[in-house]
Amino acid sequence: MPAMVEEVRAAAEAGAAGPHFLVVTYPAQGHINPARHLARRLLRATGARVTISTAASAFRKMFPGDEEGAAAGECHRDAAGVWYVPYSDGYDAGFDRAVHDHTHYMSQVRVVGSRTLGAVLERLRAAGRPVTLVVYTLLLSWVADVARGHGVPAALYWIQPATVLAAYLHFFRGTDGVDRAIAAAGGDPMATVRVPGLPPLRIRDLPSFIANTSEDDPYAFVANMFRELVDMLGREGSPSVLTNTFDAMEPEAVASLREHGVDIVPVGPVLSFLDEAPGGRVRVRREERRQRPVQAGRHGLPRVAGRAGARLGGVHLVREPVDDEQAADRGGGARHGGERAAVPVGAAGGQPQQRGRR
């Protein structure tokens, strides 16, 4: 990702305060938690300033005693050292499924969110803490346009398995006719389809947003959001994709995505117990400090020698090679064809959710 790296370096060098990651997330628990884990990993690995931005309704639930701060758009800092700042999605009082419409919410968050997130970027710049890289989670493709409009590079953080992204990519692009094959299966959960670069999969193993092609599906709008994401990955200057995986866990999916033009950067495993000690403090294992020499990285930030990685946000994101035994220890083992690879999308309080959906 040479072009993106140069943009990020220029942005970082322009800010005297050094690199600053802004992680923007959809206001649902299943999105916020992975974003927090990534933020703490970035903080621990780079020492850069890391800020999470989510909708004001979720911010109030996370920090219930900071109502005035949420209304004023002020920052909150947690015990690990990660900062938080809200944006408005137009539903500051929260989303009520009994009253509100999901489709209207998604259109509203694009309009209102674009304006208020842009204001967040401007406030941080004015305060001497300019953002050098915006990272955003699923369903928020419009964030990349906001970042670009403010001269800041952007990257997508894919919080589901890389295999799921590969399935979406090939379905919406119609690679080798996989979209027609899924439609021809007629919803038979045991029918087998071939997704390019992946082992044979049954319909039941695929994300339900593409396996169910009915126009009456109340969650059809989510499939449209994933289609938009795939379309963006096909454009010139498309964002890099950070994934919570590593090459040894999903080699076929990672290779397939790269072969089809996706700039995928495995940064996993990003798990809370690897980056957080009891009480919310970030920890560094003693054996890691003792065995791995630390070198001075760009902008004076630490870079651990002997690891593969990628440069984002003006710093070096380290990635430790993980073998099969470590994979089993850290994540319960890699999952192969025939088992469900997708993860459900959760929710916080009254936020939009898709229970049992993948």
Q: What is the pLDDT of residues 123-142, one digit of tens each?
A: 999 999 999 999 999 999 99
Asked whether the beta carbons of 206 and 167 are under 8 A apart, the reply is yes
Of the listed 20, 31, 76, 299, which one is catalytic?
Answer: 31
Overall size of the chain counted in residues? 358
Query: Tokens 């994300």 correspond to what residue?
Result: 207
336 counts as catalytic: no
Q: What is the pLDDT of residues 223-266, one digit of tens each?
A: 889 999 999 997 888 999 999 999 899 999 999 999 999 999 99
- Output 40 or 323, whichever has higher pLDDT: 40
Across the chain, mean pLDDT equals 76
User: What's residue 15's pLDDT?
Assistant: 47
* pLDDT at 180 > cutoff 80: yes
User: What's residue 123's pLDDT?
Assistant: 94
DSSP-assigned letter for residue 68? H
Cα gap 2→159, rounded to integer Å? 24
Strand partners, 52: 23, 84
User: What's residue 275's pLDDT?
Assistant: 60
User: What's residue 148's pLDDT?
Assistant: 95
Asked whether the beta carbons of 151 and 144 are under 8 A apart, the reply is no
pLDDT band at 268 (very low <50, low <70, confident <90, very high): confident
* pLDDT at 160 > cutoff 80: yes
DSSP-assigned letter for residue 135? E
For 335, the token pair is 């999952």
pLDDT band at 355 (very low <50, low <70, confident <90, very high): very low
Domains of the chain, CATH where assigned:
2-159+270-321 (3.40.50)
Nearest to 106 by CA among 228, 212, 239, 23: 228
The b-or-e profile of 205-226 (16+ CB within 10 A means b, else e) is bbbbbbbbeeeeeeeebbbeeb
**Regarding beta strands 201-202 and 240-243, do their DSSP bridges make them parallel or antiparallel, or are they unpaired?**
unpaired
CA dist 36 → 25, 53, 95, 214 (Å)? 9, 10, 22, 35
**Regarding beta strands 154-158 and 240-243, do their DSSP bridges make them parallel or antiparallel, or are they unpaired?**
parallel
* Spatial CB neighbours of 47, under 8 Å, sequence gap ≥ 6: 301, 302, 315
Cα gap 235→227, rounded to integer Å? 13
* Spatial CB neighbours of 315, under 8 Å, sequence gap ≥ 6: 12, 19, 46, 47, 48, 297, 298, 299, 301, 303
Q: What is the pLDDT of residues 288-303, one digit of tens each?
A: 333 333 333 332 223 3
Crossing angle between the packed helical segments 142-149 and 102-126, to the nearest 10 degrees: 30
* Spatial CB neighbours of 65, under 8 Å, sequence gap ≥ 6: none
User: What's residue 304's pLDDT?
Assistant: 27
